[in-house]
Amino acid sequence: MKTIYAKNSPTDNYLNHTKGIKSWIFTLDHKRIGIMYLICILFAFFLGGSFAMLIRFHLLTPEGAILTQDQYNQAFTLHGAIMVFLVIIPAVPAALGNFVLPIMLGAKDVAFPRLNLFSWWLWVFGLVFFLISLGTGGVDTGWTFYTPYSIDKASSMGGVIPVLIGAFVLGFSSIFTGMNFIVTIHRLRPVGMTWFRMPLFLWATYATAIIQVLATPVIGITLLLLIVERSFGIGIFDPALGGDPVLYQHFFWFYSHPAVYIMILPAMGIVSELIAVHSHRHIFGYKFIAYSSIAIAMFGFLVWGHHMFTSGQSQLVNIIFSFITFSVSIPSAIKVFNWLATLYKGSISLNTPMLYGLSFIFIFGIGGLTGIHCATLNTDIHLHDSYFIVAHFHYVMMGSALIGFIGGIHHWWPKMTGKMYNEAWGRFACILVFVGFNLTFFTQFMLGSRGMPRRYATYDPEFQTYHIVSTIGSTILAIGFFITAIYLIHSIFKGKKAPTNPWGGRSLEWQCASPPPWDNFAEQPEVGDCYDFSVLEWNEEEQGYDWRKDVAHPGE
């Protein structure tokens, strides 16, 4: 009998295969690139989170507690721009996707390793441009860079162009990652890995990659036009020169709405894995979940106009966009129902990754359902540009996408580092994050529907109670993240050694050692049904799962 389960090699793995800083920053290994992305993205997350805390503490009092108006406007701009362009868009595909996707697929690397390294370097340059903007007058346009404010040199601050260049560069980073994944999935699937044997995370990443490749060039062109307009005044967006400021919004959202799915789809893919693996239960409705990812990616291109219901666009256009927007809600609902059905008659382990998976369902439930308020025309007229929208998109982009990401970090942490983190602290921190998040953002629904506009540095005293609760929530949230950082870093040095398969996962990454060897698989792995957990059994000695002795391997 062949051993398809690699045992951990005591000596050689991807972490210690070569040494020195150059062996990392010029590596072509997808796992190392994934880890470098992870470190960088978590750093950017800390940066963006710091701005978020500034905003929250500033809003403790109606007159604004700690910042001037200008500083506040910069804080929310940088919070948004950093979190969107540097954190959430690359988080799951570039960090976890890079690490997991080739192993999950059974490949030795992505299709274009050099392009992959280049993507990471572009990310770093993107960050550098963001930092340059801080030193060249800052930026206060909001992460949306709406014209004509962003092209008016007299009113908006001087650091706009560096941020635009940064976002432009990050766009290419994203395009290259997407291209790489599409080609990898098409060309590098080993024998037996048919489309419908791929884990759902790969389907989600594939759908995401399509959006990355098709939508991101549009924002690239738009940002270039904006740079040219601001620098030379060519009159495409500037109304004083006969341009159309609303045209910019169309260009911007033609990318930035699909970008929402770049953020949420891979997180949904992670959740599909978390729910199935940690309940040891064959995923329910595999094909429906797989196709719903593709459906979301497709419909996502046709709904950008719902960001502009009050922009003055025609009533007919608004009605059409409202109609198509509702169509996106259906595949999202299908996913949620299928996850629930997967829990039914499962063997549910409430460990940290699973708690994040369940938190995702709860939070995405609220984020998705409040999307209905925003898609419906007459209610959105009232809610548009209010805190209700802020709450809604934080529920989707932060509460769902980022919590999926953090759940994924915990799920694959033993694989990435070869170490187990402290489970009790993990659960505790997850509960803090969950409670803190909901306290922070649920109050903002009422703030918005009761009449508080977004991007306000000062506000009416009637709203203060909500803001205080929201700030308390954000503090709990920050403590949760802080604890997470501590026990994860602690585990690298002091954690127990991780077994090959701590959770009992069936996809291929759980068949290669923890941490994986340099070239992932010494021999081509054999692919079976990646959601059939009945072939695994618990090995007490290893504290992990093993292939059952009495079950034949696939391919035998």
Partner 1 sequence: MIDSIINILTTVTPPVDNGTFWLPRAASTVAEEVDFTFDLINWICYFFFAAIVLSMVWFCIKYRRKSPNMVCEGPTHNTALEVTWTVIPLLLVAVIFTVGMKGYLNLRESPEGCYEVQVTGQKWSWTFSHPEFGATQVAELTVPVGKPVRLLMTSNDVLHSLWIPDFRVKMDVVPGRYTSLWFEATKVGDYQLKCTEYCGKDHSKMFAMVHVIPADEFDAVMTKLASEYEDMSVGQLPAYAINRLYNRCVSCHSLDGTTGTGPSFRGLWDRVSSGQVGFSSGETLSSLLGDATLYGEPENYVRESLLFPQKHIVKGYLGSMPSFQGQLKEKQILAIIEMFKHLDEITDEEGNITVNLDGTPTE
Site for partner 1 in 513-552 (CB under 8 A): 531, 533-534, 537-538, 545
- Helix, strand or coil, per DSSP, at residue 21: coil
Q: Whole-number minimum distance, CB 459 to partner 1, in Å? A: 7
- Which residues fall within 8 angstroms of residue 223, CB to CB, at 6 or more apart? 145, 164, 165, 167, 168, 171
Residue with smaller CB distance to partner 1, 423 or 519: 423
Taking CB under 8 A as the criterion, the residue among 8, 27, 73, 180 binding partner 1 is 73
Q: For residue 287, how many C-alpha atoms fall within 13 Å in the half-sphere facing its CB?
A: 2
Quickly tell me which residue has 């910042």 as its tokens. 67
Taking CB under 8 A as the criterion, the residue among 382, 494, 496, 497 binding partner 1 is 382
Q: Whole-number minimum distance, CB 123 to partner 1, in Å? A: 27
Distance of CA 162 to the CA centre of its chain: 24
- Helix, strand or coil, per DSSP, at residue 247: helix
The Cα–Cα gap between 62 and 59 comes to 7
**Does the footprint of partner 1 cover residue 88 (CB under 8 A)?**
no
Q: Whole-number minimum distance, CB 367 to partner 1, in Å? A: 11
The Cα–Cα gap between 519 and 236 comes to 51
Measure the N-to-C terminal CA separation of the chain; round to a whole number of Å: 9
The one-letter amino acid code at 89 reads: I
- Which region among 147-155, 264-272, 483-491, 520-528 touches partner 1 (by CB under 8 A)? 147-155
The Cα–Cα gap between 110 and 273 comes to 21
Q: Whole-number minimum distance, CB 361 to partner 1, in Å? A: 6
Q: Whole-number minimum distance, CB 159 to partner 1, in Å? A: 15
**Does the footprint of partner 1 cover residue 337 (CB under 8 A)?**
yes
**Angle of CA points 232, 235, 237, to nearest 5°:** 110
**Does the footprint of partner 1 cover residue 140 (CB under 8 A)?**
yes
Are the C-beta atoms of residues 8 and 497 closer than 8 Å to each other? Answer: yes
Backbone angles phi, psi at 537, to 5 degrees: -140, 155
Taking CB under 8 A as the criterion, the residue among 12, 70, 423, 519 binding partner 1 is 70
**Does the footprint of partner 1 cover residue 365 (CB under 8 A)?**
yes
**Does the footprint of partner 1 cover residue 379 (CB under 8 A)?**
yes
Are the C-beta atoms of residues 352 and 299 closer than 8 Å to each other? Answer: no
**Does the footprint of partner 1 cover residue 7 (CB under 8 A)?**
no
Q: Whole-number minimum distance, CB 331 to partner 1, in Å? A: 9
Taking CB under 8 A as the criterion, the residue among 112, 121, 125, 326 binding partner 1 is 326
Q: Which of 418, 412, 497, 414 has the alpha carbon at shortest distance from 100?
A: 412
**Does the footprint of partner 1 cover residue 504 (CB under 8 A)?**
yes
Q: Which two three-digit tokens encode residue 382?
A: 């009232």
- Which region among 187-195, 325-333, 404-412, 476-484 touches partner 1 (by CB under 8 A)? 325-333
Q: Whole-number minimum distance, CB 286 to partner 1, in Å? A: 7
Taking CB under 8 A as the criterion, the residue among 346, 472, 483, 485 binding partner 1 is 346
- Beta-carbon neighbour count of residue 537 at 10 Å? 13
Residue with smaller CB distance to partner 1, 255 or 533: 533
Q: Whole-number minimum distance, CB 135 to partner 1, in Å? A: 20
Q: Scanning residues 50 to 69, which ones bind partner 1 (CB under 8 A)?
A: 69
Taking CB under 8 A as the criterion, the residue among 98, 222, 293, 318 binding partner 1 is 318
- Which region among 118-126, 162-170, 362-370, 404-412 touches partner 1 (by CB under 8 A)? 362-370
Q: Scanning residues 411 to 440, which ones bind partner 1 (CB under 8 A)?
A: none
Radius of gyration of the chain (CA): 23
- Beta-carbon neighbour count of residue 23 at 10 Å? 12
Residue with smaller CB distance to partner 1, 18 or 458: 458
Quickly tell me which residue has 């010029």 as its tokens. 26
Residue with smaller CB distance to partner 1, 8 or 249: 249
**Does the footprint of partner 1 cover residue 373 (CB under 8 A)?**
yes
Taking CB under 8 A as the criterion, the residue among 15, 246, 247, 469 binding partner 1 is 246
The Cα–Cα gap between 169 and 15 comes to 29
**Does the footprint of partner 1 cover residue 112 (CB under 8 A)?**
no
Q: Which of 445, 360, 367, 393 has the alpha carbon at shortest distance from 257?
A: 393
Distance of CA 294 to the CA centre of its chain: 17
Residues in contact with partner 1, counted by CB under 8 A, come to a total of 96
Taking CB under 8 A as the criterion, the residue among 340, 486, 522, 551 binding partner 1 is 340
Are the C-beta atoms of residues 360 and 271 closer than 8 Å to each other? Answer: yes
Taking CB under 8 A as the criterion, the residue among 18, 347, 465, 524 binding partner 1 is 347
Q: Scanning residues 272 to 291, which ones bind partner 1 (CB under 8 A)?
A: 279-288
Taking CB under 8 A as the criterion, the residue among 184, 208, 370, 500 binding partner 1 is 370
**β-strand 419-420 against 496-497: which pairing, if any?**
antiparallel
**Does the footprint of partner 1 cover residue 234 (CB under 8 A)?**
no
**Does the footprint of partner 1 cover residue 483 (CB under 8 A)?**
no
Q: Whole-number minimum distance, CB 195 to partner 1, in Å? A: 17
Residue with smaller CB distance to partner 1, 108 or 282: 282
Quickly tell me which residue has 């993507």 as its tokens. 119
The Cα–Cα gap between 43 and 48 comes to 9
Q: Which of 438, 440, 410 has the alpha carbon at shortest distance from 425?
A: 410
- Which region among 9-17, 99-107, 336-344, 479-487 touches partner 1 (by CB under 8 A)? 336-344
Q: Scanning residues 163 to 222, which ones bind partner 1 (CB under 8 A)?
A: none
Task: Classify residue 283 by its DSSP letter.
Answer: P
Taking CB under 8 A as the criterion, the residue among 119, 322, 400, 520 binding partner 1 is 322
**Angle of CA points 358, 513, 493, to nearest 5°:** 75
**Does the footprint of partner 1 cover residue 142 (CB under 8 A)?**
yes
Q: Which of 93, 121, 74 has the alpha carbon at shortest distance from 34?
A: 93
Residue with smaller CB distance to partner 1, 29 or 238: 238
